[in-house]
């Protein structure tokens, strides 16, 4: 990453963490260490959007996800938590972006949406996987079974992770060569700074819902945790993954199977679990000891942050 890319990524991280705040151009330019005049131009060149356009899009996409996955939250509370000052402004912006009102979106599970951008899979089939639950040393273990298949999901607490990262923006689904290049770059940079040790964890963090966000705007962060003090240096940005309760689903996947695994976790396990997804980032975790099998599948654990349903 260039120095400019690191600065813009720092701004994007800040925006993502403060979507409920009244973000100003001066504030964002200060984070990037650019003047107001130069910041707007540079930001637009690197992201393809003005700061306001990107903030508005992220707020609307976050609110659309919350409407689907947080039925316990009132629409006005979702609007305020996503940075809208009132329901009128929220409803108007939501309708312009997704061609329906927030209440229509929630009641139809997202099926009334802009063609080509969103198609909901939440209602395509009923719960066809049968759960069996065990408790082992404070870990809730779900065995989900269907037609002789079994998938496992653990509910447990994870410690916070301090990570170095590189980021990619654009289409990535099924592109194994892209991810190979990203991992190679990350390991080379982090290795040169001696950030990788035996306890390091390797993560892929997805910041957008592929069914809401256009492929050209999708963001993925490739990260490695480090036990050393690190706040970003060289070509690496800094990412903090908060600790807490997570669902950890175990898979063996090839490059074309990741989307189905994520969809399964949200459509089959999560609605039966008694939990709701939290706002902390969801990510893929690749254990150090795992190797790629002869059929091209990798061991991966998909981790979704949880809160108890009220």
Residue scoring higher pLDDT (290 or 119): 290
CB atoms within 10 A of CB 14: 15
Question: Which CATH architecture best describes the domain 157-308?
Answer: Alpha-Beta Barrel (3.20)
When pLDDT is cut at 50, 70 and 90, the band that residue 125 belongs to is very low
* pLDDT above 70 (res 247): yes
Residue 114, pLDDT above cutoff 90 = no
pLDDT of residue 2: 65
49 versus 267: the higher-pLDDT residue is 49
DSSP one-letter string for 151-182: EEEEEEEE--EEEEEEEEES--TT-HHHHHHH
Asked if 247 contacts 303 with a C-beta cutoff of 8 angstroms, the reply is yes
281-297, pLDDT tens digit by residue?
A: 899 999 876 666 667 78
**151 token code pair:** 């998938």
Cα–Cα dist 156/72, whole Å: 23
- Residue 145 CB neighbours (<10 A): 12
pLDDT band at 235 (very low <50, low <70, confident <90, very high): confident
pTM here?
0.79
Q: DSSP strand E in the chain: where?
A: 130-136, 139-146, 149-158, 161-169, 202-206, 219-225, 237-241, 244-253, 275-277, 283-286, 298-308
- pLDDT category of residue 251 using cuts at 50, 70 and 90: very high
Convert the pLDDT of each residue in 137-163 to its tens digit.
889 999 999 988 999 999 999 999 999
**The two structure tokens encoding residue 114:** 């802009």
Residues of the chain with CATH 1.10.10.60: 3-107
φ/ψ region of 139 (left if φ > 0, alpha if ψ in -120 to 50, else beta) reads beta
Across the chain, mean pLDDT equals 88
Residues of the chain within CATH 3.20.80.10 domain(s) are 157-308
CATH fold of the domain at 3-107: Arc Repressor Mutant, subunit A (1.10.10)
Structure confidence at residue 8 (pLDDT): 92
pLDDT category, 121, cuts 50, 70, 90?
A: very low
Distance, CA of 189 to CA of 293 (rounded, Å): 26
124 confidence band (pLDDT: 50, 70, 90):
very low
Q: Are 125 and 197 in contact (CB under 8 A)?
A: no
């Amino acid at each position: 990453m260039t120095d400019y890319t690191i600065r813009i990524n720092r701004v994007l991280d800040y925006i993502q963490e403060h979507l409920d705040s009244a973000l100003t151009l001066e504030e964002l330019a200060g984070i990037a260490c650019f003047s107001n005049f130069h910041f707007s131009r540079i930001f637009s060149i690197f992201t393809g959007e003005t700061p306001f356009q990107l903030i508005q899009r992220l707020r609307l996409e976050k609110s659309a996800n919350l409407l689907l996955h947080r039925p316990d939250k009132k629409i006005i509370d979702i609007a305020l938590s996503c940075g809208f000052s009132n329901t009128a402004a929220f409803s108007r912006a939501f309708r312009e972006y997704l061609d329906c009102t927030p209440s229509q979106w929630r009641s139809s599970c997202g099926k009334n949406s802009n063609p080509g951008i969103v198609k909901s899979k939440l209602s395509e089939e009923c719960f066809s996987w049968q759960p069996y639950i065990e408790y082992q040393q404070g870990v809730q273990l779900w065995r989900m079974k269907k037609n002789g298949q079994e998938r496992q999901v653990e509910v447990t607490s994870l410690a916070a992770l301090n990570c170095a990262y590189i980021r990619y923006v654009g289409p990535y689904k099924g592109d194994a060569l892209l991810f190979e290049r990203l991992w190679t770059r990350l390991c080379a940079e982090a290795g040169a700074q001696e950030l990788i040790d035996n306890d390091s964890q390797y993560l892929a963090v997805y910041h957008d819902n592929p069914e809401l966000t256009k492929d050209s705007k999708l963001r993925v962060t490739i990260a490695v945790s480090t036990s050393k003090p690190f706040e970003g240096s060289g070509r690496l940005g800094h990412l903090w993954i908060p600790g807490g309760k997570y669902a950890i689903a175990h898979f063996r996947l090839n490059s074309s199977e990741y989307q189905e695994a994520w969809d399964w976790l949200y459509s089959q396990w999560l609605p039966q679990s008694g939990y709701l997804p939290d706002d902390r980032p969801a990510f893929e975790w690749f254990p150090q000891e795992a190797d790629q099998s002869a059929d091209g599948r990798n061991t991966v654990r998909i981790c979704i942050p949880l809160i108890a349903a009220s």
